[in-house]
Amino acid sequence: MRAPSFRRLFTGLLVVLASLFLLADSAHAWRIVTWNLLNYAPGREAHYKAVLNDLQPDVLVVQEMQGGFGTAVFFLDQVLNAPDGPGGYQIATFTDGFGTDNALYYRTSTVGFAGNQDHIDIDTPLRDIDRWFIGPAGYSSDNAKLYVYSAHLKAGSSSSDENQRALEASLARNDANTLGPGKRFVYAGDFNLQGSFEAAWANLTGSQADNDGRAFDPINMPGSWSNNATFAGIHTQSPHNNNSGADPSATGGGMDDRFDFILVSNIMNGTSGLSYVDGTYRAYGNDGLHFNNDINDPPTIPEGSAIADALHGASDHLPVVADFRVPAVADAGPSLAYGTVIQGATASLDLNVTNVANLALFAEAANLTYSLADPAGFNAPGGAFVEPAGGGGNVHAVVMLTTTAGVKAGTLNVNSSDPDTPSFPVPCSGTVLRHAVPSLAAGSQVLTVPADFGAHVPGQFSDQQVDVRNFGFDSLQALLQVYDAQLSGPDAGSFSLVGGFAPFLVGGTPAPLTIAFDDSGSPGVYTADLVLSTRDQQDLAGATDLPDLTIQLTADLQPGVQDGGPFGTYGGPLRLVTVRYGGSSSGLALKGSGLTPGAQALLLAGTGRASVRIPECMGHRTGLASPFVLASPRADENGEVLLPLPVRLVEAPARLQVQLVDAAGCRVADPVVVARP
């Protein structure tokens, strides 16, 4: 074996102009054709075009190319890429060897060939055996390609001819053995074999110590083929007997020899990857009804009389055809993004595994066989799966595990028979949050707290603030939603939320609630519960109701009056306050100040607010409804009065409005409230 050299290699890969012509209307499986062209030199182009226009091979391997590289290019230009030819071909690396040559042509839209590095010559005593490395277009892995051997073994039926063929076949087998196990290859060409009893056949197909280069007959038809009618349907020579129109150099005798073959490696006998399609191997044009006759004798072959005449006129060999399915191509979408959920949620996304082999270009593609390897934090179905090309896909539910909180990320691998991407990566990502933790305290989860407004006379109560917290909140904890607030208990009506209630969310910042007490009731201790209903934020899967928060409200309303403050009609410092006297807890008096010293004072009372003229101060009005005089003391030298509450106040309504009037200056203080003891 030797690599191509400049001494024997006319050129590397030819780059020819792309054909302007389209492929045949309907796609077929990836097709390899081998054909002995019968000492091709320019001529017979119309016959070749007729046959190849019908066959539309993706790979055409030929033998008996005369005239070296120039003739090979002529065949490319004038047959394959001729205006009325099939179109779209290039020639692979060509070597002008001893005797006639092999050539390989390939359709650029369906076949990939890298160039000189993908070709070698194997020396034999007679003619070179060529080996190319090619594959279907669109695939990059070596596992999607195959080695194509083209051989034209020694002709003749003598024992020396058989020995010569055996030697040549062994050289091809030895080379194929060096490829290593599981490689794809075909032996194609004119082997000139009389039958499967020959040593050459055993060298190509027999079991040896090294079976890496062992090939198989796709139709499994061993036997003594030569001049044997039993094998009439697989004979490849000669398509002419005595009818006119054949090339003068053609061998006659009619169809009675199986000389031409496409043998495949064992791995190509299956259905996975680049593999032979059962039932497609045939000697093109041989209907089994022309044993020892011309191929264009009656009956007309199924391909038609024009093809029969073309086969008869082109060569003394029929083309051998075999179709192959291209490898599967896996696709499973770009990623599985689960977003954010809460612990315990069901987080499942569908993974659609498809086989996207190009059926528009290749009519046959292998099934995609695969399994799913899930990363930590995710769970995918186990087992082996199969998806045909164009089948629409298998849908698998892939679950993100939500038992623990955290950021989940990993790659799910679709491990498959796709040679280019045997492990198709599908990124998986998502975040699992802890549940929110409602609390009314900062240091730990506290569900119930008191809110004591204290003991005060009316007007002296302050609003209370309580903070609602999401205890332990961080980026891996859900927001807390407070979605309802209800006051309950005997005095619920005396408490309220300032500004009312609307649902709110709590994260890391406490949410304050302001609670007010209505001190317009009777003196006494008021109690109620403010119950806050909580749950996780509702926009995430896994959200659930959480414990209630309870604020226990207490207010002690004391009897007494409000401080009227320094208010008056004329802006004077008239003031009314509550004092106790006589050392008795029940002794309650009203102390007025800011009066005119020695002036008459009036203490008016009423049951509500209104506007009524004061008889003693014409033109001035009290702010009371139905006013009456409780007392009319005279101010001392300091402008003050001390007015013990009369006993009859006990019989008055629970709450009175009172007002102090300075009769001397007709100054009137704002009304204040007195609560009955």
Please give the pLDDT value at position 132. 97
Please check the confidence at residue 19 and state whether its pLDDT lies above 70: no
Domain boundaries, the chain: 30-325, 330-433, 439-557, 561-675
Choose between 191 and 630: higher pLDDT: 191
pLDDT recorded at residue 576: 59
Higher pLDDT among residues 495 and 641, named by residue:
495
Average pLDDT over residues 351-356: 97
Q: Check whether 630 has a pLDDT greater than 90.
A: no
- Whether 561-675 and 330-433 are alike in CATH topology: the answer is yes
In angstroms, the Cα distances linking 590 to 111, 651, 652, 670 are 111, 18, 16, 14
Q: Distance (Å, rounded) from C-alpha 94 to C-alpha 8?
A: 10
> Is the pLDDT score of 561 beyond 60?
no
Cis peptide, bond prior to residue 158, ω within 30 of zero: no
Residue 583: pLDDT above 90? no
| Residue 655: per-residue pLDDT | 63
Q: In the block, which residue shows the tokens 């696709």?
A: 331
Q: Are 424 and 385 in contact (CB under 8 A)?
A: no
CATH number given to 561-675: 2.60.40
Percent of the chain past pLDDT 70, that is, above it, reads 88
Q: Tell me: the pLDDT tens digits for 657-673? A: 777 888 887 777 767 76
Give the pLDDT band of residue 437 (cuts 50, 70, 90).
very high
Rounded to whole angstroms, how far apart are CA atoms 65 and 42?
A: 10
Instruction: Measure CA 534 to chain center.
Output: 35
> Which tokens go with 65?
């190319």
d(CA 385, CA 354): 11
Token pair belonging to 596: 């005119």
Contact (CB, 8 A) for 312 and 403:
no
Question: DSSP label at 79?
Answer: I
Joined tokens for residue 114: 């890298």
Provide the pLDDT for residue 221. 97
What average pLDDT does the segment 500-504 reach? 97
The C-alpha atoms of residue 371 and residue 384 are separated, in whole angstroms, by 5
Higher-scoring residue by pLDDT: 255, 521:
255
User: How far is it, in rounded angstroms, from Cα 562 to Cα 519?
Assistant: 11
| Owner of token pair 């080379």 | 175
437 within 8 A of 468, measured Cβ to Cβ: no
User: Encoding tokens for residue 8?
Assistant: 């024997």
pLDDT per position as a tens digit, 225-241: 999 999 999 999 999 99
Give the H/E segment covering residue 311.
Answer: helix 305-314
Distance of CA 273 to the CA centre of its chain: 25
CATH architecture classification, 439-557: Sandwich (2.60)
Q: What is the CATH number of domain 330-433?
A: 2.60.40.10
β-pair partners for 94: 11
- pLDDT of residue 88 exceeding 70: yes
- Residue 146 pairs in a beta bridge with 134
Using CA atoms in the order 467, 471, 472, 474, what is the torsion angle rounded to 10 degrees? -70
CA distance 347 to 542: 9
Q: DSSP secondary-structure letter at 282?
A: E
What is the band of 547 on the pLDDT scale with cuts at 50, 70, 90?
A: very high
Closest CA to 129 of 181, 178, 169: 169
pLDDT at position 337: 98
Which residue in this structure is represented by tokens 């790659």?
411
pLDDT at 658: 79
What are the residue ranges of helices labelled H in 247-300?
none
**Which pLDDT does position 565 carry in this prediction?**
39
Tokens, residue 40: 């091709």
| Closest by Cα among 396, 451, 383, 394 to 428 | 396
- What pLDDT score was predicted for residue 574? 55
Tell me the average pLDDT of the chain. Answer: 88
At residue 615, the pLDDT reads 73
Can you tell me the distance from the alpha carbon of 205 to that of 225, in angstroms, rounded to the nearest whole number? Answer: 16
- Give the pLDDT score at 2: 34
The answer to whether residue 587 scores a pLDDT higher than 60 is no
Checking if the pLDDT of 519 tops 70, the result is yes
Coil, strand, or helix at residue 251?
coil
pLDDT at residue 631 is higher than 50: yes
- Is 677 a residue whose pLDDT tops 60? no
- Please state the three-class secondary structure of 449-518 as a single string: EEEEEEEECCCCCCCEEEEEEECCCCCCECCEEEEEEEEECCCHHHEEECCCCCCEEECCCCEEEEEEEC
Residue 75 vs residues 67, 70, 108, 308: alpha-carbon distances, Å: 11, 9, 16, 21
Taking the C-alpha atoms of residue 666 and residue 591, their distance in angstroms, rounded to an integer, is: 18
Summarize pLDDT for 358-416 with one digit per residue, the tens: 999 999 999 999 999 999 999 999 999 999 999 989 999 999 999 999 999 999 999 99
d(CA 495, CA 521): 11
Beta-bridged to residue 372, according to DSSP, are 414
Q: Return d(Cα 215, Cα 217) in angstroms, integer.
A: 7
- The type of residue at 264 is V
- In terms of CATH architecture, what is 30-325? 4-Layer Sandwich (3.60)
Which tokens hold the place of 386? 């199969």
For 31, 69, 118, 143, the CA distances from 112, given in Å and listed in that order, are 14, 21, 11, 13
Mean pLDDT (whole number) for 267-291: 95
Residue 5 has pLDDT above 60, yes or no: no
**Is omega for the bond preceding 299 within 30 degrees of 0, making it cis?**
yes
Q: Are 213 and 175 in contact (CB under 8 A)?
A: yes
Q: What is the mean pLDDT of residues 66-83?
A: 96
Q: How confident is the model at residue 20 (pLDDT cuts 50, 70, 90)?
A: very low
Are 392 and 379 in contact by the 8 Å Cβ rule? The answer is no
The confidence score (pLDDT) of residue 542 equals: 97
Q: Give which of 284, 396, 363 is closest to 50, Cα–Cα.
A: 284
User: What gap in Å lies between CA 290 and CA 232, rounded to an integer?
Assistant: 7
Question: Residue 80 and residue 87: Cα distance in Å, rounded?
Answer: 5
Query: What is the value of pTM for the model shown?
Result: 0.75
Helix (H, G, I), strand (E, B) or coil at 552: strand
Helix, strand, coil percentages (3-state) for the chain, rounded to 5, are 10, 40, 50
From CA 470, how far away is CA 504, in angstroms rounded? 12
DSSP assigned state of 237: B
Residue 362 tokens read as 């290749």
d(CA 294, CA 287): 12
For the cut 70, the answer to whether the pLDDT of residue 18 exceeds it is no
- The residue that leads in pLDDT, 647 or 121, is 121
Q: Dihedrals φ, ψ of 448, to 5°? A: -135, 130
Question: Higher-confidence residue: 270 or 591?
Answer: 270
Asked whether residue 9 carries a pLDDT value surpassing 80, the answer given is no
Mean pLDDT within 510-521 = 96
**Given this model, what pLDDT does residue 627 score?**
83
* Predicted confidence (pLDDT) at residue 581 exceeds the cutoff of 60: no
pLDDT in tens, 30-65: 999 999 999 999 989 999 999 999 999 999 999 999
- Predicted local distance difference test score (pLDDT) of residue 645: 64
